[in-house]
Structure 1
């Protein structure tokens, strides 16, 4: 590699983004400092009314004053065609591009603003080709030459990193468990004769991560404050003035306590209101008792992947850990019951550095763009099937038929995602948007990474965008079916009783939420889905849902109020939910039934 040639790897994560680069001259690999105090850049974005996108700490700072424009985890929403923030609708690609652009600028400073010769992007093993295409498109929008873009799955990158100093023999099996802020993924890999890592099994839970632990600490803190200072506790109630800002501050305190407890036996959690403050002490045993069910679910995920691979835990060379949540001592303890856990390096930088090793290992002598090894494939995590809905026209993910009984516990703990997409209905901003995104134009693994022609547009419902979007869509408009609206004569009212929800829907980045100032009439959490039914100012209803397993979202116009619940129909498929279950039918045939965990209706 000549003196001015360098490579860049970007690990775009749910909570934070990391990067690594090759040093000019000797080609050694080093982390990129992405802020003045850390190698990590928060993956959050903030969209201003004029369409400008802020990233990282600037985004988090702006959210304190205008939370409606804040998107804390764009990665969770990557499969959604559009994301509404205040008065502006943006594609996930544009939001992700802003984050990647920030990384590239910081890295380029280290090389006198010479652009990288190659850029390696990492992604979860289970991502489809279409989802990887959105990430690649975002990189090209960030100014990266598409011919230099490479993708590699996160577990492969981690495997290359952990085995960099002691190459293993062909046939050796190992596992990588990535426990991040918002997701948990495990992959079992075997070294082929060629020296590359083949993934033989993979599992994931997109609703299990460090943010679950943060939420548990927050709930613990509020429970304690209820007895000590009822007035302070009232400031965190749904709809209370300043409640959103107070909850954000408490979440930060919870996250800090979680990280401190990985190193020390106790930590403090400050609960701050407008006129008072209470400081609580949380010990590690108390913390462990809070998170034990989630950690056991993480261990079950590893057991399931090993069962899928048909590799005995005792035959595994090692279980390697990545992701910030893997620092937690209880995680080490529980995973050690499953397999031998290898010595842990900095878990937040492993994937970014390993991505460069993987690219160099396979293509060091090749000046052509680095190509991923089977991007997006995930044996035994999800199985593709042709939709039963003829209007859908595309394969959609479905739970593996080999799911173990431990998945039932994980589903109940994780809470939620809408099964609407799972039966083949993929609708974006139904009834209000006619443009569609066709990510299938992305070249799959057999063709390598090529130019992406995914249509990505910016929409506004208020102030226009100041930056034009130059990508041209070649996809025809899509016609969406809606139900016939039957207004209800009942008057809504009552206090929301679903956890982590307020009068407009779910308050964290996982669940759906009503647009603008629209009110929620129904909120539900099933074993697989989060659902909200909203009402506009002109008394029109719409249905929004998120499927936790892959973050897929859907919106359907004109649901109706029925006895004890709500019902909406799209393209012949009917979705009805009440306090017992979400029932999905087509032509009288039951397609799916999801038990209800939490349900609230303004009419009950």
Structure 2
């Protein structure tokens, strides 16, 4: 029996497990080449689904195919199912309708198979912890939950992605008590920001996390795609979005160019293969850093705005942010670092080394408590079984109704009154 932690991303998926040989959390390697990131993509074909690396490899070769075949492949390609998850929507793929729950089940079945291949044939995966963005409807969480249930895998817990990220970060990094860490998780689909503090040896959310589901790395890719589209139209009178269909091969090239700008150079370029009048033409999409920053500025500003919302709550509680933790590929862009440094000039900006594995590791790792938490006060009584109380400060369910006083008390962090949310269960 084995439990895994999954970071199901809009662009990539990573998985972690506890290696029984050393009892330490490790990331799962895919594709036989040491890759820890599995592309979160599916392609429907006549014989079934192609998933992950094999599906994304089609994007590198599709330009060589005749126009009709290109359109067929693009129309059966599912590039980011997480970003558009819906209980009501269906996808028409190769003549068959699939619900999003069915597509998730197909994708996770493949992930589980690849994970088992890494962990060994003797390993039986029976449970999972997965994380999700801050702005992620309960219905979407339930869809993911249902997909694992369909595979006979129990869901042990779910976490906010920035919360899991800082837990993963703590594996190899020391975090001091009361230290405020601002987690800036700028992934493929969303921006999520949270402030986390270590309290009594436990990492706790210090304020309510914030997010924006319309601001992620893929939204930056689309900005670059539209810039590329205009330039190709101007030069060749050729629209890469034929019939308003996104050319995912071109979009993939834009994503690669974006990733280049995490490096130190002032100019980057990528070669775009076009088929015009039956001939393959190579177009060099070249951008300076200033031009690149101008194109992406609006989305980066939106991401920084989310951080400002969290900081407003942090400052009201007089919490000092000693460190900013960058998570997700787009968090590594120099414009992001510059704007965060301007916002928090006295805070250290840090990463997890391998920026894309912290969330998966945090989903599987449980830090040991090194201090005893606050005692339950004598004027508190145990929670009635027909109520569920959750502390807004630390998200603990260890909450008590105060006797002869108005309000509630959290056993884990000591917070009282308005910081407890009470919900009645059937």
**Other-structure match for 1:142:** 151
Note closer, same or farther for the CA distance 1:361–1:77 as it changes in structure 2 (3 Å cut). farther
Note closer, same or farther for the CA distance 1:212–1:172 as it changes in structure 2 (3 Å cut). same
Helix, strand or coil at the partner of 2:208? strand
Q: How does 1:81-480 map to 2 (within 5 A)?
A: 81-86=88-93, 87-113=95-121, 114-116=123-125, 118-144=127-153, 146=154, 149-165=156-172, 167-193=174-200, 195-198=202-205, 200-227=207-234, 229-230=235-236, 233-236=237-240, 238-239=242-243, 244=245, 247-265=247-265, 266-274=267-275, 275=279, 276-311=281-316, 315-339=320-344, 340-344=347-351, 345-358=353-366, 361=368
Note closer, same or farther for the CA distance 1:79–1:361 as it changes in structure 2 (3 Å cut). farther
1:291 Cα shift? 1.4
Unmatched segments (≥5 aa) in structure 2: 60-69, 370-387, 394-422
**Among 36, 40, 45, which residue is 1:39 paired with?**
36
Alignment TM-score, normalising by the size of structure 2:
0.74
Instruction: Please list every run of at least 4 consecutive aligned residues from structure 1 whose deviation after the TM superposition is greater than 6 angstroms.
Output: 376-379
Note closer, same or farther for the CA distance 1:46–1:249 as it changes in structure 2 (3 Å cut). closer
Instruction: Name which structure has the greater RCO, CA cutoff 8 Å, separation 6+.
Output: 2
Q: Deviations over 1:184-243 (max 9, x none)?
A: 11122333436241352221111111122222222333333344x32xx4142543xxx8
CA separation in 2, counterparts of 1:257 and 1:269? 6
Q: Between Structure 1 and Structure 2, which shows a larger proportion of helix residues?
A: 2
Unmatched segments (≥5 aa) in structure 1: 363-373, 380-444, 448-604
1:334 Cα shift? 0.8
Helix, strand or coil at the partner of 2:16? strand
CA separation in 2, counterparts of 1:54 and 1:377? 43
Q: Deviations over 1:346-388 (max 9, x none)?
A: 2211101122223x648xxxxxxxxxxx9x9989xxxxxxxxx
1:18 Cα shift? 0.8
Helix, strand or coil at the partner of 1:127? coil
Contact 2:207 2:314 in 1 (8 A): yes
Helix, strand or coil at the partner of 2:163? helix
**Other-structure match for 1:408:** none
Aligned: 1:80 with 2:87:
yes
1:82 Cα shift? 2.9
Contact 1:128 1:377 in 2 (8 A): no
Contact 1:82 1:89 in 2 (8 A): no
Q: Deviations over 1:430-461 (max 9, x none)?
A: xxxxxxxxxxxxxxx999xxxxxxxxxxxxxx
1:14 Cα shift? 1.0
CA separation in 2, counterparts of 1:194 and 1:280? 50
Alignment TM-score, normalising by the size of structure 1:
0.54
Contact 1:47 1:85 in 2 (8 A): no
CA separation in 1, counterparts of 2:79 and 2:241? 21
1:249 Cα shift? 2.4
Number of residue pairs aligned between Structure 1 and Structure 2: 357
Note closer, same or farther for the CA distance 1:212–1:226 as it changes in structure 2 (3 Å cut). same
Contact 2:196 2:203 in 1 (8 A): no
**Among 63, 68, 72, which residue is 2:75 paired with?**
68
Note closer, same or farther for the CA distance 1:355–1:333 as it changes in structure 2 (3 Å cut). same
Contact 1:98 1:142 in 2 (8 A): no
